Amino acid sequence: MTIAKSNLAMVRDEIINLHQMMNAEAAKNGETAAFRTEYVSAWYAFRDEPTIATAQALLALAPQLSEYFEMCSPGHEFYERAQLLKSHGL
């Protein structure tokens, strides 16, 4: 997987959705989602400025997010679905 091929704004939006789902699930159980300080700092940097450098820093702390970068690349599900919707004006 190459970060440079990923639509970084799309990755950001997908991770925002992930965080919202995690927060909702925690709230359903009467809890709050908790994240390590290092992750939060890297996430905010990527969220505010989705660049290759901020993506690399985020992935260094949370390699499990690499699937989002892959799925938001040409030839993969999230990217292709977004392109299809865009081509139909949706």
d(CA 32, CA 49): 26
The pLDDT assigned to 80 comes to: 80
Distance from C-alpha of 43 to C-alpha of 8, rounded to nearest angstrom: 13
pLDDT at 1: 60
Distance between CA atoms of 36 and 8, rounded to whole angstroms?
A: 22
Give me the pLDDT at residue 90, please.
73
Could you give the residue ranges of the DSSP H alpha helices within 29-65? 37-48, 52-61
Q: What is the pLDDT of residues 74-88, one digit of tens each?
A: 888 877 887 777 787
pTM: 0.85
CB neighbourhood size of 69 (10 A) = 24
- Alpha carbons within 13 A on the beta-carbon side of 72: 18
Q: What are the residues whose beta carbons fall under 8 Å from the beta carbon of 58, sequence distance 6 or more?
A: 39, 42, 43, 45, 46, 65
